[in-house]
Amino acid sequence: MQYGDMRENLVLEPVSGKALPVYKGETLRIIQEVGGQCVDFDCFNLHDYREYMSVGHMRRQGIRVVQGDYALSAPPRSNLMMWIAEMPESCVTDLIGSRCSPDLFEAAWDFDIHTNCQDTLAESIGEYGLSPDDTHDSFNMWMNTGWDDRGRWDIRRNTGKKGDSVDLLALMDVLAVPIVCGSGDVTGISNYSLKPIRIQVFEGSPETELATEEHLHRFGRLKNQRSLGDYRIQGIKTDRELRRDPNYEPRFPNFPLRFEEFEVELTPEDRKDVDRMKAAGKADDDEDAIRSGAFNWFTAFNTEPSPFANKPIMGN
Amino acid sequence: MDETPDKVTIRLTQQQIEILDRLKHQGELGDEYPEILMGAFRRYADHSLGKGRFGNVGRA
């Protein structure tokens, strides 16, 4: 894709970061200046900091996003924030590992203070008046971790090579916050050394603006991508104490639930299948077997592909 | 041989009924909730109960 002119080009020395606006249709490039450096990334809606990237919801695309996936904002906004336009295979991503923090290094190795992503993110966004509490779990790039079925993890060698780069196309005006991960000298996440990264921002071009509109047209039109005007409470609470509002009445969706009952008739083959499911521990009773099987099929084969929806696999 | 029909009562949320309505609109599985639900169940069984590629839960 052809980008516009480069308007930012800076090196982030270890261990530092930078919050910088990237406007809709522009592209942020993150480059391995030396290689083997883990990069943490966060972003905010530039015009409303309460809308921010949610790696938890990005995980619906998989715990390792790849080229073609999206950075998404947290519900109920649920907007496309950035699109991963380019990402080399050397950039293994991790959406589970969160961000390293000073408590980790004190607890593990008794450091009074050690470079860490929490503090680097906080210091970076401070330029825009945001506090340490405004940091979020980060989208981790060049973070080669392994996860087993029990959720335990291990760190593998960083495979980033000098010059490797990731391009993120902004689908809204964002405050982008790329930082050098601070854990890499005492963990293997950056191969036991801390290196600089380079950041570039390219202006929009007719091609990127067209691509932006295509992404928004495809995935940016859900009724439940809500805006501030949809909220019952629209203000930002400024005092820290939580106090109960005795007049507040929650309005849970579709509450109380409504039900419908009907009878189905099983063929001898259906009966065998229902009994097999129960015997295999996949259903507690006949009703559970039929309902679970039917909706398992529905969710596996009738779910529209979307960055907002999990990619289910049938068989449970 | 027992000739009694093998019937099961199914209780669904209105939200699940919305999905059956969508399948009804697609027209592949039938027009009535019981036949749509059993149609979906049979497709699951074809794929998942040792009849297809998604795994085997107990068939020899």
pLDDT in tens, A177-204: 999 999 999 999 999 999 999 999 999 9
Identify the DSSP state of A67.
T
State the amino acid at position A41 in one-letter form. F
Residue B56 has pLDDT above 80, yes or no: no
- What is the ipTM score, two decimals? 0.86
Distance between CA atoms of A68 and A84, rounded to whole angstroms? 5
Q: What is the pLDDT of residues A271-280, one digit of tens each?
A: 999 999 999 9
Q: What is the pLDDT of residues B4-36, one digit of tens each?
A: 999 999 999 999 999 999 999 999 899 999 999
Provide the b/e sequence for A2-31 (b: ≥16 CB within 10 Å). ebbeeebeeebebbbbbbbebebbbbbbbb
- Our measurement of the distance from residue A163's CA atom to the centroid of its chain's CA atoms, rounded to an integer in Å, reads 25
Of the partner residues B33, B41, B43, the one whose CB lies closest to the CB of residue A262? B33
pLDDT band of residue A45 (cuts 50, 70, 90) is: very high
Of the partner residues A282, A293, A301, the one whose CB lies closest to the CB of residue B41? A293
Of the partner residues A254, A259, A294, the one whose CB lies closest to the CB of residue B40? A294
pLDDT band of residue A315 (cuts 50, 70, 90) is: low
Distance between CA atoms of B1 and A271, rounded to whole angstroms? 15
- A258 in reach of chain B (CB within 8 A): yes
pLDDT at residue A278, rounded to an integer: 96
> B7, B29, B44, B59: which to substitute to probe chain A, counting the most A Cβ within 10 Å?
B44
Closest CA to A75 of A211, A214, A231: A231
- The answer to whether the CB of A28 falls within 8 A of the CB of A167 is yes
pLDDT band of residue A94 (cuts 50, 70, 90) is: very high
Residue A1 has pLDDT above 70, yes or no: yes
Inter-chain CB proximity B45 and A295 less than 8 Å:
no
pLDDT at residue A313, rounded to an integer: 66
Residue B53 has pLDDT above 70, yes or no: no
pLDDT at residue B55, rounded to an integer: 43
Q: What's the mean per-residue pLDDT of chain A?
A: 95
Which helix H or strand E contains A273, and what residues bound it? helix A268-279
pLDDT band of residue B58 (cuts 50, 70, 90) is: very low
Inter-chain CB proximity B8 and A261 less than 8 Å:
no
> A254, A257, A266, A290: which to substitute to probe chain B, counting the most B Cβ within 10 Å?
A290
Residue A316 has pLDDT above 70, yes or no: no
State the amino acid at position A43 in one-letter form. C
**A288 interaction partners in chain B (CB closer than 8 Å):** none
- A315 in reach of chain B (CB within 8 A): yes
pLDDT band of residue A310 (cuts 50, 70, 90) is: confident
**Å between B1 CA and nearest CA of chain A:** 12
- The answer to whether the CB of A157 falls within 8 A of the CB of A107 is no
